[in-house]
Structure 1
């Protein structure tokens, strides 16, 4: 299974009897689109949360205002709470989250192209940060989508 192959990813989830949820910020639902573009995905894909604003992260996923204040939206602690919130709110077995700076813009401390990911599974939650660099908004979003699909695929292998 290639990391970005949604068909194989869905088949692996189906074989395990697992359901998937997503929590996306900078990708605006691209991971959910990749999964739901596959006919029959509704037996595996439960729901996607597009939580672009901090208020949406708090209201829909239960991200703590204190976590946002301490770390900012583009951080592994927020990615962790997003993934855990998506899993909790949906009852899914597996949830992936994405929060980042697709660009243009950024800062010295949080540059354009920085994306934080969370993956909540029955065994726990892992986070990571990738710096894709200032490749342009569309490219950063595509790379983030593909990486998130890869995280899901690895969790199902």
Structure 2
């Protein structure tokens, strides 16, 4: 069952007549799945792309290899590019991209530990980049990231 904030976000989007699409790396499609379980899903959910591997980021979403090399696949810069590319593909009012580190073995550093999540949200009015470090298991980090993104969307949707 989706969290209260995901349900609220879906309701807010439906009330505005807005749809939403996702480019998900760290969350592996879970955000799309959570939104698909809301009562308003048929009105708001346009779709999503799971772009966990660099190959998909580069070959499907056309993120330049040089950008990934310079900033790592889990970075604000790559996340924004994913959001921009997904917005073009889905022609969505709200587009969300999420990258980050839910387990060790990625690009983690002292400055970017496991739990670091990058979110980029494109709305009709602005592009919002957000970075946050969450604690817990991989699943707990994913669910916290989804809730954080949903809250950011609710905040951005206010007139």
Unmatched 5+ stretches in structure 2? none
Residue pairs, 1:1-157, within 5 angstroms:
4-105=4-105, 106-133=108-135, 135-157=136-158
CA contact (8 A) 2:10 2:40 kept: no
Q: Give, in whole Å, the separation in 2 of the partners of 1:14 and 1:126.
A: 21
Q: Give, in whole Å, the separation in 1 of the partners of 2:52 and 2:131.
A: 18
CA contact (8 A) 2:28 2:50 kept: yes
Q: Deviations over 1:8-67 (max 9, x none)?
A: 222221222211001111111111111101244122110011100111112232222121
Q: Give, in whole Å, the separation in 1 of the partners of 2:71 and 2:104.
A: 21
How far off its partner does 1:125 sit?
A: 1.5
Q: What TM-score do you get using the length of structure 2 for normalisation?
A: 0.88
Q: What TM-score do you get using the length of structure 1 for normalisation?
A: 0.89
Q: Give, in whole Å, the separation in 2 of the partners of 1:57 and 1:46.
A: 19
The structure-2 alpha-carbon separation of the partners of 1:87 and 1:4, relative to structure 1 and needing over 3 Å to count, comes to farther
Q: Which moved more, 1:8-17 or 1:102-111?
A: 102-111
